[in-house]
Structure 1
Amino acid sequence: MKGTLAVVGLGPGSAELTTPAVSRALAEATDLVGYTTYLDRVPLAANGQRRHASDNRVEIERARHALTLAAEGNKVVIVSSGDPGVFAMAAAVFEALEGGPSAWRVLDIRIEPGVSAMLAAAAHAGAPLGGDFCAISLSDNLKAWATIVRRLEAAAYGDFVIALYNPASRARPHQLGDALAVLRGLKAHDTPVVFVRAAGTSDVTMRIERLGWADPAHADMRTLVLIGSSRTRVIKCGGAMRWVYTPRSERDMP
């Protein structure tokens, strides 16, 4: 049997946001490979499916293991949260493929997209990504903090809306505060900042603050932080309801 490898994104949380193509790949797999927390989100199959769980800091090793299983003739699926191509396993697979044996290069490999946390968070807030935007991970596990700062500065100078992934953890609780300090030196202090926690789940919560006074304590690893551009607006509706959007046009607005 010829082996296959699919790299899939489960979406941000709710099963309703997992695409039919991803669900089909999961159901047909002989082997599921992934970070333990994400594998726990996948219903157990009745076909004797094998699960290969690992820690979240061994991405290349996980990718090599999956490629090896596929080369042995198995139907392998690597599970990511959100979209597998956004700060997730698709890049690790291709990095392993590039440095691996030539037999891996003839495997049937496909990437099945998913709804990213960034898109789920933006939908909950309204349309903050309506104009040009970028995404930056604040994790310095795989890159230097100086690189992150340089990219934050470039995004601020370009006046992009910025989606911040991995804003805080127990190992680096200070980095969101440091990132906000960088942006306060380059952007207006009344720039909208949106904290969306558990986007795409029934536990979702949202806070809208302003850059000059945004409190980094409102974020954890389940939070997506959206920093507006100079064009981003907040519309106040009835009660506490507010929508955030960034217009696509540079024309003057009311």
Structure 2
Amino acid sequence: MNAPESFDAAVPAGKIMLVGIGPGSVEHMTARARSAIAEADVVVGYVTYIKLVADLLDGKEVVRKGMTEELDRAVSALDAARAGRKVALISSGDAGVYGMAGPTYEVLFQAGWTPEGDVAVEIVPGASALNSCAALVGAPLTHDFCAISLSDLLTPWPVIARRLDAVAMADFVVALYNPKSGRRTRQIVEAQRLFLRHRRADTPVAIVKSAYRRRQNVVFTTLAQMAEQDIGMLSTVLIGNSSTFVRDGLMVTPRGYANKYDMDEGGATRDGEKAGRSLSTGLNGWLEALQIDHAAGESVEQLAARHRLPIDYIRATLDEPLEAAAADLPEESEA
């Protein structure tokens, strides 16, 4: 990659549109993504992504780049925009999720670009792989989730391992990006090893390959058998949390309504709970119980161990007086 030259605001310039094309099929692209490509003079992207939008490229100058040439793509887009052209720099999924938005801003800032300069930048969002894959397998992301890339090409493995261990312990649903390649075969095994420290062997796992593309494939398995499956760079691995289940070919993570409502009794509120109010084990209820348990003789260390929370956090909450509950204030609706 050639380093970008310093930005010269005196030179007429154009626009860079960082376009997320979603999973790859045109019908799953946003209208803005299609119109951004239509108005572009130049389309820059990884060769595979260029193929996915080939039907939209008539009359365009097309710049194809290889797998590891992200910074070259950004420099090419900047060079074209400096020449007064409109550029669509495409990413699969969303440009801001393991996509081209970050590298492009790095190149722009290195070149002295500012948002007030002559090169305009627009990010066009698209459905990321975790959204697309989740839609194919059911509703696995209904509760808290995160995404972690297993690629150690740019991130040290100890950093990745600490993140895996932390989210496994914290009971997030997890989407693993870049889980395995021809050379990187052990990362998925190490991820499995870390997750099994905290989660049951029968935790549901879905592996989706080429979502909404020609060779789409979906496999349901378990955490214990995850690493034995056919996994590659076109795969996304969805690991459920302690509540996730698979039924009738659908992977579902409950939102938590059963904690407050009796699902077998027409949704009636459980004893001790109030509709539209925090759980009895929500923050205020938990803080009150914590004070009671501590007053009854349970030490800070014992409370921290029981709740699997840091000792200094438990101590700080005990030192802060409880606030009066705002019982008459309406709750905001749940997201």
Q: Which residue of 2 aligns with 1:56?
A: 67
Q: Once the 2 structures are TM-superposed, how far is the Cα of residue 197 of structure 1 from its aligned partner?
A: 1.2
The equivalent position to 1:230 in structure 2, one of 234, 239, 242, is 242
**Higher RCO, Cα 8 Å, sep 6+:** 1
1:184 aligns with 2:218: no
Secondary structure of the equivalent of 1:40? helix
Q: Which residue of 2 aligns with 1:114?
A: 126
1 CA distance for matches of 2:116 and 2:81?
11
1:195 aligns with 2:207: yes
The equivalent position to 1:249 in structure 2, one of 237, 244, 256, is 256
Q: Once the 2 structures are TM-superposed, how far is the Cα of residue 203 of structure 1 from its aligned partner?
A: 3.1
1:211 aligns with 2:211: no
Q: Which residue of 1 aligns with 2:91?
A: 80
Count of aligned pairs between the two proteins: 248
2 CA distance for matches of 1:18 and 1:171?
32
- CA contact 1:97–1:104 (8 Å) conserved in 2: no
1 CA distance for matches of 2:42 and 2:230?
38
1:17 aligns with 2:28: yes
Q: Which runs of 5+ in 2 are unaligned?
A: 1-11, 265-335
1:220 aligns with 2:232: yes
Percent identity for Structure 1 against Structure 2: 40
1 CA distance for matches of 2:100 and 2:228?
28
Deviations 1:32-60 (A, max 9, x none): 1111111122225343x211111121212
**Could you tell me the TM-score, scaled by structure 2's length?**
0.70
Deviations 1:152-195 (A, max 9, x none): 01111211000001111002122111211111112111111111
Question: Aligned runs of 1:50-199 on 2, under 5 Å?
Answer: 50-102=61-113, 106=117, 107-199=119-211
- CA contact 2:133–2:211 (8 Å) conserved in 1: yes
Q: Once the 2 structures are TM-superposed, how far is the Cα of residue 112 of structure 1 from its aligned partner?
A: 0.4
Q: Which residue of 2 aligns with 1:27?
A: 38
Deviations 1:52-72 (A, max 9, x none): 111121212221221121121
RMSD across aligned positions (CA): 1.8
Q: Which structure has the bigger radius of gyration? A: 2
2 CA distance for matches of 1:8 and 1:31?
12
Pick closer, same or farther for the CA change 1:102–1:18 going to 2, 3 Å: closer
Secondary structure of the equivalent of 1:11? coil
Q: Give the residue type in structure 1 aligned to 2:231.
A: A
Q: Once the 2 structures are TM-superposed, how far is the Cα of residue 101 of structure 1 from its aligned partner?
A: 2.6
**Could you tell me the TM-score, scaled by structure 1's length?**
0.91
2 CA distance for matches of 1:37 and 1:84?
15
Secondary structure of the equivalent of 1:231? coil
Name whichever structure is richer in strand by fraction: 1
Pick closer, same or farther for the CA change 1:104–1:70 going to 2, 3 Å: farther
